[in-house]
Amino acid sequence: MSDGTALAGPDGAARCPWALSTPDYVTYHDEEWGRPVHGDDALFERLSLEAFQSGLSWITILRRRPGFRAAFAGFEIASVAAFTDTDRDRLLADTGIIRNRAKIDATLANARALAGWAPGELDELIWSHAPDPAGRPVPRTLADVPAVTAESTALSKALKKKGLRFVGPTTAYALMQACGLVDDHLAGCVSRTAA
């Protein structure tokens, strides 16, 4: 049983323990999670997927990501903003995604809100909330990794003020972790950035 510290994976490299439960997680952990993501469409995708994950396991979303990308036009903000009621009905019937009416409606509403933003504005807003890494201790165990921070609460408020939905502080922090605003790879993890 893990004490929450980095564990050796199938290749002998130490990783965050959550990454070792399935090969899908190993790949996601090693190649994506915690790596900087930039670009409005890329961040819209991550924000949308984190919202869909709310109340579910991330593996459920990760395995359906190709379906989400197909259903939501590659998360291109302008395309999703132009979705009609017919598109909404299509999404509600699409078994390749999570068919949660509130989350689908939020994704469509968020795209419409973001379509009115200047290019790069979402990227700038999100990254303006990245904390100073020097002020963050390196987490040694999973217990050291918060679910919410002052920065994620501020990001959530800023996104809500701009009209976005399903962007609470916990979702905002998960976005910050996934998109590299914070490095929550544990001490000793092969994916931990050099301090």
Catalytic residues: 28, 50, 58
The two structure tokens encoding residue 40: 């409005």
Does 38 count as an annotated binding residue? no
Does 29 count as an annotated binding residue? yes
Cβ neighbours of 70 (radius 10 Å): 12
Residue 45 to residue 29: CA distance in whole angstroms: 18
| Residue linked to tokens 């399903």 | 166
Does 16 count as an annotated binding residue? yes
CA distances from 6 to 19, 141, 176 (A): 10, 7, 21
Does 179 count as an annotated binding residue? no
Q: Which helix (H) or strand (E) holds 8?
A: strand 7-8
Binding site for Zn(2+), by residue number, is 16, 29, 185, 189
Binding site, by residue number, is 16, 29, 185, 189
